Chain A
Amino acid sequence: MKNDFRDAADVRYLTGEDIKFYETAGGLLGATLDGDDVGRCDVLRLFPLHQKERYLSVRRQAEGHRDRNCELGIIESLDSFSNEEKALIMHELEKRYFVPEIVKVKNAKEEFGHTYWEVETTAGDRQFTTFDMSSSLIRLSENSVMLIDVDGSRYIIPDLKKADDKAMKVLDIWL
C-alpha cells in the first residue's frame, strides 16, 4: 500500500546495467540506454548541496532531438558503474557544479552596501562582490555557508570555525 504513489510516479532508477556512459567525440558525456545510443547526455544533481554523488538525473542532450532535455532516469548511486564511467560522470558534474571553496579571505571590505572580496579559492585567486548579504548568504550547515556574488557565482566557506577574522567581521551579523 505504502508504495502506491511511488508506483504511480513511475520514476526510472538507472543502474550500470541499464545505462552505459561513454565519451563523445567532443569529449563530452554520451550514453547508451538499454543498448540504444542516446548521444550526448547531461547529468544533474537532484540535491546539489548535500548529495554530490547520489541522486543524479540523466537527461538527453542530443542536438536536434525532439525529446531534448527529457529525463532518461535517475541514478541513485554510482556503485554499479565502472570506474571509467564514474570518472566521466564526476568530470561532467564537477564542470557543471563548479563551486570553488574559499581557502583564505585576503580582504573583505564593505562599501555602499556592497562587500568586495579578495579571496584565495581552491580554483585560484578571485575577486568578487556581493550585494545585500541577507539574500546572498546561504547557510549550508551549522558551520558552512555559501556566498552568491552579483553575477550569480557561488563560493563556499567550508568551515566557519576556521574562517579568517576578516570574513567573520562581515558575516557575523548575518549568521
Chain B
Amino acid sequence: MILKKLVDILKKGYAKWGENVLIKGFIELDKNIKALMDTYNLTEPEAVLKCDMDADCAYGEVWLLAYKDRFVTIDVKSGMKIDYDYDSFEMLSNESFINTGQFVIKRENESYPVAFYSNSVGRTAGRFAMVIGKLKENKELTEEDFKAMGDENACPTCGRPYRDPRRKICPKCMNRKAIFIRLLGYLPKYKFSIALMGVFMVLTALIGVLRPYVSGATFYDEVLTEGGKYYGMVVPIVLCLILLEVSRLTINILKERVAAKVSANIVFDIKSQIFGAMQRLSMSFFNSQHTGSLMNRVNNDAEEICFTILWRIPELVINSLTLIGTATVMLMMNPLLSLIVFIPVPFTVYMMKVAFPKFRKVKNASWQKRSKLNSVINDALAGIRVVKAFGKETNEIDRFDKASGELYEANIREGIRGAKTFPVMGYITSLGGLFVWAVGGAQVMNAEGGMTFGMLMTFVGYMGMVLGPIDSIVNSIDWLTECLNCAHRLFEIIDRKSDVVPSPNPVRMEDIEGHICLKDVTFSYEPNKPVLKNINLDIKKGEMIGLVGHSGAGKSTITNIITRLYDVEEGAIEIDGVNIKDIHPDDLHRRIGMVLQETHLFSGTIMENIAFARPDATYEEVVSAAKLANAHDFIMKLPDGYETELGKRHTNLSGGERQRINIARAILLDPRILILDEATASVDTETELQIQQAINTLTKGRTTIAIAHRLSTLKNADRLVVVDRGEIAEMGTHAQLEASGGIYAGMLGKQKEALKIRGVEDEE
C-alpha cells in the first residue's frame, strides 16, 4: 500500500539521467528484478533498496527486498539469491568506507557482509537498515519511514543530482515562472512608483528613437537641404536636440531616484522577511547551514534580486522598446536598408553565444589563478610569525613565484583570447556599417525610393542602437537564471517549517517548580545515528545534577532537548508533569537559564547584555545580578561602567569576565531550571573559583543540570549521572560512584593522575 504510494510519486519520471548513480531508496522494481522475483516466486516486498555494487567491488546491481519475516538479496548479473531470516541474525547495520559502504549482519559477535554500495546509495542505506530493524521487531512501517527513505538526492523530473541534497532545487526544472510571479509580489506595495518608472522608461525609449531621426533625417534633409521644411533653421533644431538630450537626462535622473528609493525599500522588505524567518527556525537548520552562506543569503541574494527587478528588467524593457521602436521606424523609412542593418545581428548573437563563453572560460581561469595567488599571499602574511620563526621565507617566496607565474600565463591567455574576440566583434559591426554606407550611399546617389543623405545618417545612428539592446537581451537569460536561483534560495528559507513546532494549544505555566522527567527519550541529529538512547531520568525540584562522560557522549544533547532547541523523536520530556511540547515557549524559556562554555556577548552595552533576556529589568536588578555573578567589580573598573560598549576599542574582556556577564544574564532571568554547560571550562583556576562562587549563589533552590569535564567542579552536585555512548551508564553520589569502580571512578583516577603530572612539572 505504502509502496504503491511511493511508486506513484516516483513514477513521475525517474532517473532518466544516469540510472546507476541516481537510483536510491525505495524505487519501482524494474523489469530485470521483476523477472528474477518471478523465478524465485517472490511477492511484492515491504521495502526495496537497489545497491549499485556487487560483491567483487565492481559496479553492479544487487537488490535488497525486505519482507515481514526476512530480507532477500538478489544479484541481477549472476541471478544469485540469498535469504536472511530475521531470526538468524541480531541486527543489520551499515558501515561506510571512503567511496563505498557495506551492509553487515551481526550474529553472535561476528559480522557477515551482505551487500556493497557506493556513496550514492549511502545516504539511504542507514534508513534501510532501520527499516529492517523495525520489520525484525514486527513493527509496522509508517509513511514516515518511507518519506525519509525516499529522501531523493536527484531531481525526480530530469534525474540531475541536486547541488545540495538538502535544498532539492534542480537548476533546470525549478518552476521559474512561479518564482518570478512570486517575486513580483514584492512590487504592488510600490505600484505608484513603479508605474512612474514605467512611464519614464517608455519616454526614455521614445526619445532614444527620436534623437537619431532628428539629428539625421530632419537635420540633413529638412534643415540643411534647400527646399526643406525647416531650411536654415539650424539653431532651433540644435536647440531642439539639446532639449531632447536634457529631457532624456532629466527623465533618467528622475527614474533612478524613484528606483533607488523603491529598491532600498524592497531590499529592506526581503531582508527583514528572511531574517524573521531564520529566527523562527530551529537549531537543526542552523547546524546544517554555514553561517557564511546564511549571511550571503540575507545580504547578497536580496540585493541581487532587487538589482534584477529594478535595474536589469527595466533596462531590458527599455532596450526591447528601443529595439522595436527603431526597427519600426527603420522599416517604415527603408525596408531594404533595415535588413542590411540587421545583417550583423546573427553574427553578434553567435559571438555572444559561442565566442564569449570561451572568453569567459579563459577569464574564469585567470580568476582562479588570481584567487589562488591571493590565498598564497594571505597564507604567508597571516602566518608570517610562523614563517619567520621557522626561517622558511624562501619557501614562501617560491610558492608565491609559482602561483604568480601561473597567473601571468593565464593573463596572457586571457589577453590573447580577448584580442581575438572583441576586435572581431567590433569589426563585424563596422562591416555592417560599411554595407549600410555602400547600399544606402548608392540609393542616395540614385535617389532610389526617396532615399536622402539625412535618412542615411539616421540609419547609421540606428545601427548602433540595434546591436546594444540585442546584447542585453541575449545576456538576460543568464542574469535572470541567477536571480531566480537567489529567489529560490530565499523562498526556501521563508517557506521552511521549523522542526520544533509550537503546540496549537499551549499550556500557560506562570510558575514552574522545576521537576524534570525524561521518559524513554531517544534522539538523533542525523537519521539512524541515535545520540541518546532510551534515557530515563527524574530530576527533583531544586536538585543539582552533574552530567559526566567522555566528549561526544551526549551530555550537551540532553540539555539541548530539555531546552527544546530540538524535539525528541521518541519518548517525552516533562516539566512538572507537563510535556514540554505542550508548554508555551515563552513560559519555558523564561524559566530556563543557560550558561554555556561559549560566552557570546552581543554588540551593545554591558547593561543591555545582562538584560538580554529581560529588557525590562531595572538598573537595580541588573546591578544585583552582576554583583551576585562577581561581575560588578570589574565592570566598575571600566571607564563607562555598565554603559561600556562591547566590541569597541579598549573593551577587551577576558574569558572569565565575559563568562561572569553571562552568569549575570542567567541570574537576572531568575530561572527555576538552570543549565550550566562547561561554564567554567575556559578560565583559569582563580577565575573559576570566583565563577564557582557565583554559580553557587545561582544554583541555590533551583533545579540545576551542570556539565563539566573538571570533575571537581561538580562536587556540590546532589547526584552525578554518567552518560556513555548516549546511554545512562551510572548514577549516584560522588562517593557512591567512586566506590563502585565504574566509568566515573576511572575518569576520576585519570584526572588525579593528570593533576599529579602537572604537580611534578611544577616542582621541576
Contact = CB atoms under 8 A, between A and B. Distances in A.
A151 B161 CA distance: 9
A26 B98 contact: no
Interface stretch (B57-65, B234-242, B453-461, B569-577): B57-65
Interface string B135-157: 00000000000000000010000
Interface stretch (A51-59, A71-79, A81-89, A107-115): A107-115
B18 A127 contact: yes
B104 interface: yes
A25 B628 CA distance: 64
A98 B361 contact: no
Nearest to B122: A151
Nearest to B15: A127
B87 to A, nearest CB: 18
Contact of A153 (B99, B106, B116, B172): B99
Interface stretch (A1-9, A117-125, A159-167): A117-125
B113 A27 contact: yes
B603 to A, nearest CB: 33
A23 B20 CA distance: 32
B99 A98 contact: yes
Contacts of B361: 173
Contacts of B165: 150
Nearest to B410: A173
A63 B161 contact: no
A40 B102 CA distance: 15
Contacts of B17: 116, 127
Contacts of A35: none
Contacts of A97: 97-99
Contacts of A95: 57, 97, 100, 102, 116
Nearest to B171: A112
Contacts of A129: 18, 21, 160-161
B103 to A, nearest CB: 12
Interface in B148-187: 153, 160-163, 165, 171-172
Nearest to A121: B59
Contacts of B162: 150
A124 B122 contact: no
B347 interface: no
Contacts of A28: 111, 113
A98 B97 contact: yes
A36 interface: no
B112 A123 contact: no
A126 B171 contact: no
B583 to A, nearest CB: 39
Contacts of A174: 365, 368
Contact of A150 (B20, B113, B163, B364): B163
A125 B58 CA distance: 9
A116 B154 CA distance: 13
A96 to B, nearest CB: 4
Interface residues of A, number: 43
Q: Which of B99, B361, B481 has the most CB of A within 10 A?
A: B99
A48 B98 CA distance: 10
A73 to B, nearest CB: 21
Nearest to B485: A112
A113 B99 contact: no
A124 B99 contact: no
B113 A26 contact: yes
Contacts of A99: 98-99
Interface string B99-131: 110101010011111001011101100000000
Contacts of B160: 111, 114, 116, 129
A24 B104 CA distance: 13
Contacts of B172: 111-112
Interface in A10-69: 24-28, 39-40, 48, 62-64
B362 interface: yes
A104 interface: no
A172 interface: yes
Nearest to A117: B18
A48 B112 CA distance: 25
A172 B21 CA distance: 25
Contacts of A40: 110-111
A25 B105 CA distance: 12
Contacts of B106: 63
Nearest to A155: B99
Contacts of A152: 99, 119, 122
Contacts of A100: 59
A125 B98 contact: no
Contacts of A27: 112-113
Contact of A63 (B109, B123, B171, B364): B109
Given A98-B97, A173-B365, A128 B109 contact: no
A96 B112 contact: no
A128 B18 contact: yes
Nearest to A111: B172
Q: Which of B58, B120, B481 has the most CB of A within 10 A?
A: B120
Given A151-B122, A173-B365, A24 B111 contact: yes
B571 to A, nearest CB: 24
Contacts of B163: 113-114, 131, 150
A127 B112 CA distance: 30
Nearest to B91: A63
Nearest to B481: A112
Given A99-B99, A118-B18, A153 B60 contact: no
B368 A134 contact: yes
Nearest to B120: A151
Contact of A25 (B98, B104, B110, B118): B110
A150 B110 contact: no
A124 B120 contact: no
Contact of A154 (B98, B102, B364, B365): B98
Nearest to B369: A173
Given A25-B112, A26-B112, A127 B21 contact: yes
Nearest to B24: A151
Nearest to B364: A173
A99 B109 CA distance: 30
Nearest to A129: B161
A124 B111 contact: no
A62 to B, nearest CB: 7
Contacts of B97: 95-98
Q: Which of B106, B118, B153 has the most CB of A within 10 A?
A: B118
Contacts of B123: 151
A151 B106 CA distance: 27
A25 B19 CA distance: 35
Contacts of A126: 20-21, 59
Nearest to B109: A63
B58 A150 contact: no
Nearest to A132: B163
Contacts of A172: 365
A153 B368 contact: no
Interface in B76-109: 97-100, 102, 104, 106, 109
A153 B109 contact: no
Interface string B350-375: 00000000000110110010000000
Contacts of A62: 109
Contacts of A150: 153, 161-163, 165
Contacts of A64: 109
B100 A98 contact: yes
A171 to B, nearest CB: 11
A107 to B, nearest CB: 11
A139 B17 CA distance: 28
Contacts of A116: 17-18, 160
Given A114-B160, A153-B118, A63 B111 contact: yes
13 contacts: A27-B112, A95-B57, A96-B100, A111-B160, A112-B481, A116-B18, A116-B160, A126-B59, A131-B161, A151-B21, A151-B123, A172-B365, A174-B368
Closest 3 CB pairs of A and B: A127-B18, A112-B171, A26-B112
Given A97-B98, A173-B368, 8 more contacts: A96-B98, A97-B99, A98-B57, A111-B171, A128-B120, A129-B21, A129-B161, A153-B99
